[in-house]
Each structure stands twice: as C-alpha cells, then as structure tokens.
Amino acid sequence: MIRIISCFLLSIVFVACSKTQKDWQLKKEIKLDDVYPIGLAVLNDQLWLSDGDNNRLVQINEDGKIEKELVDFERPMHIGLSKNTLLIPEYGRDTISTYTGGKKGFLRDIPKLDAPAGVFTLGKEVAIADFYTNTVHFFNGSIWLKIGGKGTAEGKFNYPTDVHLSTGFIFVADAYNHRVQVFDKSGRFVKVLGQNLGINAATGIYVADKELFITDFENSRVFVVSLENELIQEITQAIEKPTDMLIYNEQLYVVNYKSGIVSVYER
C-alpha cells in the first residue's frame, strides 16, 4: 500500500511539474516589404529569408528592413546552413545552391533532384527533401541513402517539404500525408509524429532538444509537440500560412507566407 501511495504521489508531482512549462507568447511582429518568406536561417547573427515569389534571398534586420539581397534563384525553398555557408534548395532549378563569403556556387556530388524543397546538414551529414520524387536523400558522411517513395504507408511520402537532422534521427515533413516521419540514420522508419493533430499540410519543421515544431500551412497554426508525440502547445496568434520556424537567442521565429510577417515569440 505504501508503495502504491508513493507512486501516486510521484505521478502527481510529475504532472504538476509538466504544467510549469511556459507557453510561447507573442513578443512582436516583423513586417516585411514585398517579401513572401518560405524558409529562414541565421548566419553570423543575421536573419536570412528565402523569398520564393521573388526568386531571391534577403537578409533583414530586426525591423524587417532588407540589408542584403541575393537574386537569380528559381523558387528558393527551406534554406539550410553548413558552417558559414547558406544552402539554398532551388525548387525550379532542381539543385542546391550555396552562398559563402560573398560568392554563389552549387552543392557538389549530390543525387539527381526533382524540385528540392528542404536541406539540412549536421557535421558531414546532409539531408535533402525532394518534392516530386517523394524521397529524402541522406548522406551519412560516406554514401548517399535514398529514403521513401510515393505512398501513405509508414516510410512513404506524399510530397516531403522539409527535413531536419538530430544526433540520431532524420525528421521529415510529410506535407500531404499530414504528418512528420522519423527515421534512423540507416534510413529505417522509426515513428510518426503529429498524425493526430488534424494537420492539413505539414510544410515546415524544426527540432529542438525535447520538442518538435510543425507548421500547419492551410490551417494557419504551429504545433509544438514532444518527441513522444504529446501536444504541448498550439500557436495561432499572428500566424497566417506559416512555412518555417527556428529558435534563435531563446526566441521562436515563425515566417508567415501570406501576411509577409515574421512573428517572434518568447517564453
């Protein structure tokens, strides 16, 4: 009986502690001028956005003013970083462009792509979400692995739009299967996240230490879930057709394609 009571008390303490986690609250909105953002990244403490409608990348300050512009892209999507290099998936050019030290180039020795929508690196590892082939290409430091294929079953995709790497796993925004899928570094399916949230189009993802952020584009909301698939928060304030997000300086930045606003939240 004592053991049962102890377990019960511990469960109460656990629940109470879990409720002390603060929600993300809107801090400010950064209004952009004629920018329709899809992806974002922070390079050298500067915020970069891909502006798909205008086929460019822009560097903005905290007031939304454009401080630098890179042009001549074809529908740049969810951008990534590799050390001091920006990686730009060009949906309309079927390649991954690079920008470093003021120079543009291309990511070499990659598989043939058909509308890449997202790219992410971690050390020597590279992952690319390839929209029309319904696959994710993963370079493990030695070889490229091909994950997925068209379908609704576990391990299959219906237009993947974004990808994120953690130490042990590959996270994929499986947009029109309305979910996020997780794979290990050998390409084996591990689990599904967010499938119970009523997501219309899971277009962008960001993985923190214990949380996964998912943009629900058509329903104009961002979900925060645990890596065990428990809903932590649903963010709707200042959200309008969100496509991507990241945490920088303990603040959550969310880009909104329709409104042309970067919404900033804090805890």
- Over the stretch 150-192, which tens digit does the pLDDT of each residue have? 999 999 999 999 999 999 999 999 999 999 999 999 999 999 9
Check if the beta carbon of residue 200 is closer than 8 Å to that of residue 217.
yes
pLDDT at residue number 14:
45
pLDDT at residue number 13:
45
Q: Percentage of the chain surpassing pLDDT 90?
A: 91
Quick check: 139 pLDDT over 50? yes
Residues in the chain: 267
Mean predicted lDDT score pLDDT of the chain: 93
pLDDT at residue number 128:
98
Quick check: 17 pLDDT over 50? no
Alpha carbons within 13 A on the beta-carbon side of 132: 10
Check if the beta carbon of residue 230 is closer than 8 Å to that of residue 247.
no
Quick check: 126 pLDDT over 90? yes
Q: Where are the alpha helices (DSSP H) in the chain?
A: 2-18
What's the rounded mean pLDDT across residues 97-124? 96
pLDDT at residue number 3:
54
pLDDT at residue number 117:
98
Identify the residue with better confidence: 148 or 14.
148
Quick check: 11 pLDDT over 70? no
pLDDT at residue number 21:
72
CA dist 217 and 171 (Å) reads: 18
- 142: Cβ–Cβ under 8 A, 6 or more apart, which residues? none
Task: Specify the pTM.
Answer: 0.91
Residues 98, 99, 105, 109, Cα dihedral to 10°: -30
Q: Percentage of the chain surpassing pLDDT 70?
A: 93
pLDDT band at 8 (very low <50, low <70, confident <90, very high): very low
pLDDT at residue number 107:
95
Quick check: 7 pLDDT over 90? no
For residue range 182-222, what is the model confidence (pLDDT) as tens digits?
A: 999 999 999 999 999 999 999 999 999 999 999 999 999 99
pLDDT at residue number 52:
95
For residue range 51-77, what is the model confidence (pLDDT) as tens digits?
A: 999 999 999 999 999 999 999 999 999
CA dist 264 and 252 (Å) reads: 6
Query: Is the sign of the CA dihedral 177, 180, 181, 185 positive or negative?
Result: positive
Coil/strand/helix, residue 2: helix
Residue appearing with tokens 């990511």: 107
pLDDT at residue number 2:
52
For residue range 221-233, what is the model confidence (pLDDT) as tens digits?
A: 999 999 999 999 9
CA dist 157 and 144 (Å) reads: 18
